[in-house]
Structure formats: structure tokens, C-alpha cells
Amino acid sequence: MTDGQLRTRALRLSYFTVAYNLVEGLVSVVAGALAGSVALVGFGLDSFVESLSGGVMIWRFGGAQGEAASCDAEKREERALKLVGYTFWILGAYVLYESVEKLLGGERPEPTGLGIAIVVVSLVVMPALYLAKRRTAERMGSRSLAADSKQTLACMGMSAAVLLGLILNQTLGLWQADPVIGILIAALLFREGRETITEGKLCSC
């Protein structure tokens, strides 16, 4: 692929990320609100935060085609990389807050047919989206798109945690599994955010 084709591919993946996560978030929040499930509402809000990262990538790759070889492109990559890192922190802070509140308050995740279905769909879509972003990032040499792919992977982990928490609660009565897994995911998100931001380097053009 040419540089232009790779940019177009990255842009399309970013548009899909935003569109899919907005739909996923809306369905999850509605299903969670109807069932009184904090886990599903949190999962939906997580999807909205993921769409922020996709929006950053649209901004990153939406510039002029001739920008790729310019100093402005390097500066744009630097800013995009840091913005993606900040979205990791936003998501991590929210997940940590919700997890601790649920653990201390004894709030149990509520299983619903629609909620479980959207989580399962996410576990199918997110790995494919992650791989597509990762491969495109490697071919472009884009650190910001690689960081965005990690956020997609993190959201896949969130999907697995929500589903695992629901299963353990239903089968073994272990409602604590959901918030404990959430705390572990929050720690990983904070680490990824720190590493993403500190990986950035000043433009040397």
C-alpha cells in the first residue's frame, strides 16, 4: 500500500471505531439502566470514552495528504500520541471509581439478554479491530495509531471482565469478581497511559 492508502485505511478504521462505540455505548447504557446494572452502564460509558480515542485518530489522519513527510506531521503525531495517553487515564479513573464503589457498596452485576449480547458482540469485533489497527500502525510507523490499538485491546479486556463477572455471579455467586477485575484493568490503563505519554519525543526537524 502507498502512504496515501495507509492513511485512508487508518482514517476508515478510526471512523468505524467512533461509530461502533457510540452504538455499543448507547445500547449498553440503555440495557444497564433498564436492568439496574452498574456493570453494563459502566461498560457503555467505557465505549463512549473509547470513541474519544477514535476521534483523536480522525483528527490525526484527517490532515493534508502531503503532510506525511513534513515537520508538521511529526508534531501532529506527538500531540495525537499524548491525547490518546490522556484518554487512557480518563478511562482508568472512571473504571477505578466504579469498581471501588461497587466493591464497597456490594452492588451486584445484573445479567440481561441484551447486555450479554452486546458484550459478546464486542468480544468478536474488538480483536479484529485491534489487529487491523496494529498492522496498519506498523506499516505506517504511527505510534499514535499503535497506542489507539492498545486502547481497543483494553476495551476488549473490559468486555471480557464484564462477561466473566456476570458468569461468576450467576454460577457461583461471586459478585466480587466484577469490581476486582475492574480494579486490575484500571491499573493497566494507568500504566498504558503513562507509557504512551512518556514515549513521545520532541520534534527534531
Between these two residues, 66 and 138, which has the higher pLDDT value?
138
Q: What is the pTM of this model?
A: 0.73
4 in helix, strand or coil? helix
List pLDDT tens digits, range 84-130.
Answer: 788 878 878 888 888 888 888 887 776 677 878 888 999 999 999 99
The C-alpha angle 84, 87, 92, rounded to 5 degrees, equals 135
Residue 63 confidence (pLDDT): 63
Confidence of residue 201 (pLDDT cuts 50, 70, 90): very low
For 87-123, letters b (16+ CB in 10 Å) and e give bbbebbebbbebbeebbeeebbbbbbeebbebbeebe
Residue 22 confidence (pLDDT): 94
